[in-house]
Structure 1
Amino acid sequence: MTTTAKPRTVRCPACGGPSEYSPANAWRPFCCERCKNHDFGAWASESYRVADPAVPGGDAAEGDTLPRH
């Protein structure tokens, strides 16, 4: 006897609605293509940013990301 496990449901990171987290959902973890594209657009327009690590010593000029030697 084979049993199929119920697909896991997670919260969509974009809209907060339920999203099936399984290979059957091509947009996982998003619930739909619209939510996936909305998130992609936020990254493309630089609404989301990865923080620049602080320069050790703190002697770098503003905007300078390389340590001075």
Structure 2
Amino acid sequence: MSRIERPCPICGKPRAAEYKPFCSARCRDRDLLKWLDDGYAVPGPPAPVRDTDEE
């Protein structure tokens, strides 16, 4: 049974073992930047807003 490799989730090129699941350091870094810029979100209700003056 052969295993089908999925492409890089950012650009669609074949994955590289060194950067798996991405094809390059560039795509890996683009994904990290998307996480850091709140480009991805976990589904669910919004978190309650806390008033920082009360702490």
* Same fold per superposition (TM over 0.5): yes
Q: How does 1:1-69 map to 2 (within 5 A)?
A: 9-20=5-16, 25-53=17-45, 64=48
More helix by share: 2
Separation in structure 1 between the aligned mates of residue 23 and residue 43 of structure 2, nearest angstrom: 28
Q: Would you say how many aligned residue pairs link Structure 1 and Structure 2?
A: 47
Q: Please list every run of at least 4 consecutive aligned residues from structure 1 whose deviation after the TM superposition is greater than 6 angstroms.
A: none
Q: How much identity, in percent, do the aligned residues show?
A: 33
Q: Note the C-alpha offset of 1:53.
A: 4.5
* Structure 1 segments unaligned to the other structure (5+ residues): 1-7, 55-62, 65-69
Larger radius of gyration: 1
TM-score by length of 2: 0.66
* Structure 2 segments unaligned to the other structure (5+ residues): 49-55
Aligned residues: CA RMSD = 2.5
TM-score by length of 1: 0.54
